[in-house]
Amino acid sequence: MNKRDKTHQSSRLLLGGGCFWCLEAVFQQVEGVIKVTSGYSGGTSENPTYQQICTGTTGHAEVVEIIYDSKALNLTTLLSIFFTIHDPTTLNRQGNDLGTQYRSVIFYQDDSELTVINEFIEKHQLTLNQKIVTQVSIAEQFYPAEIDHHNYYRLNSSQPYCQLVVKPKLDKYVQWKENKVE
Active-site pick, 19, 22, 54, 162 = 19
| Strands 135-138, 61-69: pairing kind | unpaired
Handedness of CA 42, 48, 51, 57 (dihedral sign): negative
User: Is 19 tagged catalytic?
Assistant: yes
Sequence-ordered strand ranges (E) for 60-146? 61-69, 93-94, 97-98, 104-108, 135-138, 142-144
Identify which of 4, 10, 156 has the alpha carbon closest to the alpha carbon of residue 70.
10
List active site positions. 19
